Amino acid sequence: MTSGDAATVAHLRGRMMLGRRTEVLQVECVVRGYISGSGLKEYRQTGEICGIALPANLRESDRLPEPIFTPAWKAPAGQHDENITLARVAELVGGEALAARLRDASLALYAHGAAVCERAGIILADTKFEFGLTPSGELLLIDEVMTPDSSRFWDAEAYAPGRAQASFDKQFVRDWLEAQPWGKTAPGPELPADVVEGTRARYLEAFERITGASFGRYLTEDVIA
């Protein structure tokens, strides 16, 4: 595609972000306010997540006493990311001071995000941040931030610990997929139009509830207000 093509310009509208080339730190900076996913799995085996001891008898999806920093090593393609301790983060990024900064920034970002989501009736169960270093050594938050793809969003109204929670954005498509004769390996099935539209509506609802802004206005005026 070429940059001057009208169809290309229309396609790109609203989906571009300019970033900076940085040295990407090879650590997924995960913060969990609730216990789920790989955190739950590790907790059930060891009573800890990433070396952080947790109270006994936590149920799936329980709120944690306080949000915790549970980093993961970014495994090469084809391998699963691996939960690691803060000491291991320090080894990977080259220093305890930087590791502590990653933890503190991640926890502060989560606290901000969780508070905004809570006002929108959405639980930010956990989320993953990425950081990079500029050539001059400045630490930057990069990549995507607190999106449905990097986070678990739950509907606060439907929240019930003791079981898995429905994903605010993806549950619609997951429920449909579960009902298909499909082995969950590539290629996946084509989605019917009503499943596409239902899933789209959930994504737009997440955008509008969290930002308090109109999605239509974001598309036409390029503002989030």
Would you tell me which residues interact with other proteins (CB under 8 A)?
1-3, 8, 12-21, 105, 108-109, 112-113, 116, 131, 135, 138-149, 170, 173-174, 177, 184-191, 196, 199-200, 203-204, 206-207, 210-211, 213, 215, 218-219, 222-225
8/46 with CB nearer other proteins: 8
25/54 with CB nearer other proteins: 25
Smallest distance, Å, CB 224 to other proteins?
A: 5
54/206 with CB nearer other proteins: 206
How far is it, in rounded angstroms, from Cα 63 to Cα 196?
Answer: 32
What tokens does 109 get?
A: 């970002």
Contact 189, 181 (CB under 8 A): no
Smallest distance, Å, CB 190 to other proteins?
A: 5
What Cα–Cα distance (Å) separates residue 71 from each residue in 14, 54, 92, 158, 172? 31, 16, 11, 28, 29
Smallest distance, Å, CB 15 to other proteins?
A: 4
Smallest distance, Å, CB 156 to other proteins?
A: 18
Residues present in the chain in total: 225
148/161 with CB nearer other proteins: 148
- Cα end-to-end span (Å), the chain: 31
The dihedral built from the CA positions of residue 40, 45, 47 and 53, taken in this order, carries a sign that is negative
